[in-house]
Amino acid sequence: MSRPLASRLTRRLVVAALLSIPSPQVALAQGTTPPAPMAARRAGSVVDIRFWSQMLGTNKHARVYLPPSYAAGTRRYPVAYYLHGASGSEADWSTQGRLGATMDSLVAGGMPEMIVVMPDGDDGWYTTWNALGNFTECNRAPPKKESAADYCVPWPKYDDYIARDVVAHVDSTYRTIADRAHRGIAGLSMGGYGAVTLALGYPDVFSAAASHSGVLAPLLGIAHDSVAAPVRDAADIDEVRARWPQWLWPSLSLAFGGRDMFGWWARDPVRMAMRATDGGRALPPLLVDVGTSDPFLAENREFVAGARALGESVDYHEWPGGHDWNYWRAHLPESLRWIAGRIAAR
């Protein structure tokens, strides 16, 4: 076949193929689905950042989801902060939780856009420790990606780190709506504890909080090994220690206290809510969910009962599932929609 003839045949085939694609109007009339508009296919971006934390005295990392319209305009956005669990990292929500794709899907479905920040919280429990930090040695093994200097912080103020350093850096780096009404916070497991206590402890920073499978009644503990499910709060520090698995005790004892009960009482979420109401402060709205096969089910029930007794507004759900990413991925869209509904620009 000659080259000119082949070219003419190719052009005819292309034209015929193009003419065979129905217009959106024809497609609808024929009962078929037209191609999705380009706007519906737009995706946000996920970026990694590194910044100095004055509260911890070291550099830290975070992962940030920027919504689809961020790069194309000048508007400002509300911000949701998502905290990881014990032994986790700032990458968990976007890799195992697929937060970026979930956000894109929700936004395409009409949910208001927002920035989502996923900070590195070590195993710090998002509180100021009841112990001093790293002096010259550190017996906490850092993750492979992180140096001991970044992980073994000299000043373990993980609550101030999130509420002050991370928020300030995000507000100075991105186009945020920099007020409490447009900030929410959420987390899973250890991060659920952090989200609830940070919202209670920093009402000037966060206006709503969501917890997935949170550690919300640390004095109760969990069933583990040969220890049965507890039915009441621990009365002394020896009983507290017996309520927790051995692998988790090193981080808990640093954050809450390894020798006395005062640190545990001070950091208990219901007692924090009680102090807030005693001081005349309004309590933030909360979303709390947990799996019916989760070892923290009893903790969540105890916290919700205590918080509601104080007048706290708690949207509470129990769903089938355990303490794993299958559960958290399934219920991430619910917390994102819930938070967006409370912090969206108005």
Instruction: Dump pLDDT digits (tens) for 284-298.
Output: 999 999 999 999 999
Instruction: Dump pLDDT digits (tens) for 35-65.
Output: 444 444 589 999 999 999 999 999 999 999 9
Distances in whole angstroms, Cα of residue 334 to Cα of each of 176, 288, 317, 325, 337: 23, 11, 11, 15, 5
Residues 81 and 75: beta-carbon distance below 8 Å: no
| pLDDT at residue 138, rounded to an integer | 57
Please determine, for residue 24, whether its predicted confidence score (pLDDT) is greater than 70.
no
Please determine, for residue 2, whether its predicted confidence score (pLDDT) is greater than 90.
no
Least confident of 13-22, 106-115, 313-322: 13-22
Q: Is the dihedral of CA 159, 164, 165, 166 positive or negative?
A: positive
Measured between its terminal Cα atoms, the distance across the chain in Å is 66
Residue burial 87-109, b: 16+ Cβ < 10 Å; e: rest? ebbbbbbbeebebbebbbebbee
Please determine, for residue 197, whether its predicted confidence score (pLDDT) is greater than 70.
yes
Give the Cα separation of 3 and 7 in Å (integer): 6
Q: Where are the domains of the chain?
A: 1-35, 42-343
Give the Cα separation of 67 and 177 in Å (integer): 14
Token pair for 137: 């040695």
| Chosen CATH of 42-343 out of 3.40.109.10, 3.40.50.1820, 3.50.70.10, 2.40.10.10 | 3.40.50.1820
| pLDDT at residue 1, rounded to an integer | 45
| pLDDT at residue 133, rounded to an integer | 62
Residues 68 and 100: beta-carbon distance below 8 Å: no
| pLDDT at residue 20, rounded to an integer | 39
341: amino acid identity, one letter = G
Give the phi and the psi of residue 140 in degrees, each rounded to 5. Answer: -95, 120
Give the Cα separation of 322 and 297 in Å (integer): 9
Least confident of 14-28, 59-73, 120-134, 296-310: 14-28
Residues 115 and 66: beta-carbon distance below 8 Å: yes
Q: Is the dihedral of CA 202, 251, 262, 310 positive or negative?
A: positive
Q: In what order do the strands lie in the sheet with 183-188?
A: 45-53, 58-66, 115-119, 79-83, 183-188, 208-212, 286-291, 314-319
